[in-house]
Amino acid sequence: MSGPSSSAPNRPLPPTYFYLAIAAVFALHFIPRLFLPSLRLIPWPWSLLGIPPLLAGTALNLWADGLFKRYGTEVKPFRESSALVTEGPFRISRHPMYLGGMLILLGLAVILGSLLPFFILPLAFWFITVQFIIPEERDMMRQFGDRYREYARRVRRWV
């Protein structure tokens, strides 16, 4: 449809922030270990428990992205949507792609097994909610009105 909505900020898209969060997870794992090797929280082989959330997050992102493409609607935030997608993973989360990103971060933190990467999770959760989810929901409310209000009443923001 048309270009960005009036609330479209001039900033990078959410994947950029998730990539930065992934880089921070690795940095907080490897850099402090040079000085504080005792910060290991999850030992091998228990750290392999991070694989399921990592895979689930990836699958969730691909599934949601595929639905956006099938409906021919915009996946980029702050752009006009041509459809309100409410099926598939959108039945359990209004923002399955953000949820997928958080699962990927959680999976990586568990796989790495050290304490400090877990501090990225609440920061990423807060940042994505404030910078993207709340403004996107405001745009969806404006665009889809009562249909979106009913959907938001039935389906939780994250899970």
Residue-wise pLDDT for 100-133, tens only, equals 999 999 999 999 999 999 999 999 999 999 999 9
Domain membership of residue 146 (yes or no) is yes
**Is 53 a residue whose pLDDT tops 80?**
yes
Residues 34, 37, 127: CA angle, nearest 5 degrees = 80
Helices vs. strands in the chain: H and E counts, helices first? 6, 0
Number of domains in the chain: 1
| pLDDT digit string, tens, across residues 8-17 | 557 899 999 9
How far is it, in rounded angstroms, from Cα 148 to Cα 141?
Answer: 6
Domain membership of residue 5 (yes or no) is no
How far is it, in rounded angstroms, from Cα 20 to Cα 156?
Answer: 26
| pLDDT digit string, tens, across residues 82-104 | 999 999 999 999 999 999 999 99
DSSP reduced 3-state for 37: helix
Domain membership of residue 13 (yes or no) is no
Find the domain containing 140 and state its range: 24-33+40-154
Task: Read off the pLDDT of each residue in 73-89 and give the average, rounded to a whole number.
Answer: 92
Residues 45, 50, 56: CA angle, nearest 5 degrees = 145
